[in-house]
Amino acid sequence: MLRRIPSTPLVCLCIFLSTIFISAAWASAPDESLEVLLRPNQVGGPPSPVVQRTSAKPAKVRAVTAQGMAVLGCPPVGITKVKQPLCAPYPGVFAPPCILPQPRPRQWELSVQAFFARSKGSIQWPRNNWMWGGYSGWQRDVDLNDDLQLPAHNVFVEFNAKYQFSPTWSIRYSVLTDEINGGGWPAWNTYGFWFGNYFYSYGQPLSTKWEHTYQRIGLAYDAVKSCSANVSIFAGWMHADDKIGVNCWYCGNYTQTFSKSMDCGIAGIELQRCLKTAANGATLSCDSKASVIFLDDAEGYDIQAGARYSIPLNAGRWGFVKGGYRIVELKKTVNEYYFKNSLEGGYAELGFIF
């Protein structure tokens, strides 16, 4: 009689031993096998991407440049093709430095000025005039306001143009012109006056017109130039033309005309300095200039003192308004057709740099 061998326990034992040895060979380390066993269940999904740690890069900082708002990053390492702005501030959270808006090479600066002036002056006809003696044997100066009845307060318009053809050299041109009309009766205490070949006195209605032109052109050199200040010296040519006509319709409706022109040299200095630059790039600065007029038996001066407020218009362009006080005086030093006039008062100016 054969003996029955129990096969079922032997099969279970073989399966158990093979499982242990196969699991040990599949796992590279006990810790790794334990991590696999403890990982949450994944149902047929793709493997998770591996995230690598990288060093943080410096972030860009917004800063105000000399020509308005711009985004400035950290300067690159090595040689770059793009040059940094000449007067750009350092990036950071601090207040922007004071930067003076100035025309770049091949840029224009155009402006128009309204000059609210108190005008006064006098005229002296030649001493060899056959009416020189007059009724009293003398001839006095003829006042523009009291005698010729021209208004004392007027608004003169001036146009200014400047072209910066190099970093330190520029050419400038300006013209101030106006036509003033007046009329009335001479003051009773003036005792009359001679104008040309006729004598005018109290009680005679006068009609007067004054045509005045004042032009300047020359070169300017920026002797001292920095990001916050500029000192320029300039020299050139000045031309002034004055024509005054007096008419008395009660006296026969004839007109006597006085005409005089001056061609002189002019030289001066201009000072511009930044006072405050706001966070949006707007700048407040002082703007003053003084010049002297000479040659052609004439003398005079032109002085301006004021402040300018500039607003950036992107791409190196600016718009500005300026205001201050101004004095202009011209005088012919010879007695032949002696003429003296002065303009004094406040002014307002509007312009662009482009």
Encode the chain (354 residues) as per-residue pLDDT tens digits.
444 555 665 555 566 556 555 544 444 444 444 444 445 554 444 455 544 554 445 444 444 443 444 333 344 444 444 344 456 544 444 556 899 999 999 999 999 999 999 999 998 876 555 454 444 445 568 889 888 889 999 999 999 999 999 999 999 999 999 999 988 887 766 677 888 777 887 778 889 999 999 999 999 999 999 999 999 999 999 999 999 999 887 776 678 888 888 999 999 999 999 999 998 889 999 999 999 999 988 999 999 999 999 999 988 899 999 999 999 999 987 766 788 999 999 999 999 999
- Domain contains 139: yes
pLDDT at 248: 83
Report the 10 Å Cβ neighbour count for 119.
23
Tokens of 223: 């002797």
Pairwise CA distance, residues 120 & 5, whole Å: 143
CATH number at residue 166: 2.40.128
What range defines the domain where residue 141 resides? 107-353
Q: Phi/psi of residue 5, each to 5°?
A: -95, 130
pLDDT of residue 13: 59
Could you give the CA distance from residue 234 to residue 194 in angstroms, rounded to a whole number? 41
Residue 99 lies inside a defined structural domain of this protein: no
Tell me the C-alpha distance between 260 and 331, whole Å: 11
Residue 334 domain flag: yes
Residue given tokens 């003076």 in the structure block? 100
Q: Is residue 338 part of a domain?
A: yes
How many other C-beta atoms can be found within 10 angstroms of the C-beta atom of residue 32?
Answer: 11
pLDDT score recorded for residue 141: 81
Q: Residue 349 — φ and ψ, nearest 5°?
A: -135, 145
Q: How is residue 11 written in tokens?
A: 């099969």
Residue 58 has a pLDDT of: 47
How many domains is the chain built from? 1
Q: Report yes or no on 130 lying in a domain.
A: yes
pLDDT at 32: 46
Inter-residue long-range contacts of 314-319, CB under 8 Å, 24+ positions, other chains counted = 314/67, 314/68, 315/67, 316/67, 316/104, 316/107, 316/353, 317/352, 317/353, 317/354, 318/101, 318/352, 318/353, 318/354, 319/351, 319/352, 319/353
Alpha-carbon gap, residue 91 to 325, rounded angstroms: 38
* pLDDT value at residue 51: 46
Nearest to 110 by CA among 69, 170, 168: 170
For residue 314, being part of any structural domain is answered with yes
pLDDT for residue 297: 87
In a domain, 82, yes or no: no
DSSP state of 334: S
DSSP-based three-state secondary structure for 106: coil
| pLDDT given at position 203 | 76
Do the bridges between strand 229-248 and strand 254-277 make them parallel or antiparallel, or are there none, so unpaired?
A: antiparallel
Q: Residue 299: inside a domain, yes or no?
A: yes
